[in-house]
Amino acid sequence: MDRARDLGCALDAARAACGAVAAVGSPADFGADGVLEKGAAGPLTLADLASQVAAIASLRAAFGPSARFVAEESADEVAAHGGEPLLVRVAEILRASGMAIDAAGVRDALSSGGHEGGSDRFWAIDPLDGTKGYLRGGQFAIAIALVEAGRPVVGVLGLPRLAGSGCDAGSGVLASAVSGSGAHQRSFAGGDAVPIRAREWSSGHPVRLAGSVEKAHSASDALETLVSALGTVDPVRVDSQAKYALVARGDADAYVRRSPSAGYREWIWDHAAGALVATESGCVVTDTLGTPLDFAQGRRLERSTGIVCAPQRLHGALVDTLARGG
């Protein structure tokens, strides 16, 4: 077990993925041809694909062909929605940015993300969490976590549009955590990693409550009404796992997610990296019933409903409030 190496490789993979997203260019430039609608699963862009290929190639180069990946995008799903031409474009973009890869290599890297998860060691990857935010000019995250025995042990969030706070100014932050070793952030520009800590909310202050921008993803309005039992709610509506990073560095008090549909189970790649960053910054992260998250249940958090992430005292108050609110 070499956690320093695991973290270093996860950071390299996140940097490679962020570089691939940058190489794709801005959504305004690549236009509608670069976006595929996956139905209920939402939009998929050239950037999602390039990012996943870059992250997996980087981790494979470090850990060899036995590395396992539970990643969001799959070549079959892209093909099923008529997206084959996107794979060719992704290969061209990555080649132009210096990576030796062709369309078959792109297909292969995407296909290798189909591991079913479970209790062995694997990497959970959301190559572009918050795609709707990415397209809208909002936040998005490249999320990479190493999961062992159902627990994230290393987590990295690449946040290209998040401004630094407590580290070098400028846009672009990498937030990271290793189980038992705390959480840190560093700027994209380089420089040292700076420790980050969540701040416990005190009664009488507004509750800065992080939640989804997208109404279809989380019942944010109803949630904010419920939480107003604790105090004035100051909504922090942000796309992607950037919400975990904001709580982890004290820029929000809590992140709560209640799915608008009772049967919805969260994907593990939407939470593995962010939950570890928040936990290591001093938060408790559970589902809305207060049950710890179990990442060994496959590609989804099958035993969890929603998310509550906050330092211990506020976490307890939120779980109680949600239980009373039904």
Site string for ligand AMP, 85-124 (x = CB under 6 A): ----------------------------------------
Sequence-separated (6 or more) residues with CB below 8 Å from residue 2: none
Gap between the Cα atoms of 144 and 78, Å rounded = 21
Q: How many other β-carbons are positioned within 10 Å of the β-carbon of residue 316?
A: 14
Contacting Mg ion within 73-132 (CB under 5 A): 126, 129
Active site residue 288: no
- Could you say which of 74, 111, 259, 291 contacts ligand AMP (CB under 6 A)? 259
126 is catalytic: no
Q: Is 270 in the site for Mg ion (CB under 5 A)?
A: yes
Sheet hosting strand 283-286, strand order edge to edge: 233-237, 207-211, 254-257, 307-311, 283-286
Catalytic residue among 6, 126, 131, 270: 131
End-to-end C-alpha distance for the chain, whole angstroms: 43
Q: Which of 214, 228, 294, 321 binds ligand AMP (CB under 6 A)?
A: 214
| Nearest alpha carbon to residue 268 among 299, 297, 302, 233 | 299
The DSSP output letter for 270 is: G
Given candidates 270, 277, 308, 318, which one binds ligand AMP under the rule CB under 6 A?
A: 270
Among 212, 279, 286, 288, binds ligand AMP (CB under 6 A): 212
State both tokens at 193: 């990693």
Task: Report what 216 binds from ligand AMP, Mg ion, none; CB cut-off 5-8 Å by kind.
Answer: ligand AMP
Whose Cβ is closer to ligand AMP: residue 176's or residue 240's?
Answer: 240
**CB of 304 vs ligand AMP, minimal distance in Å:** 12
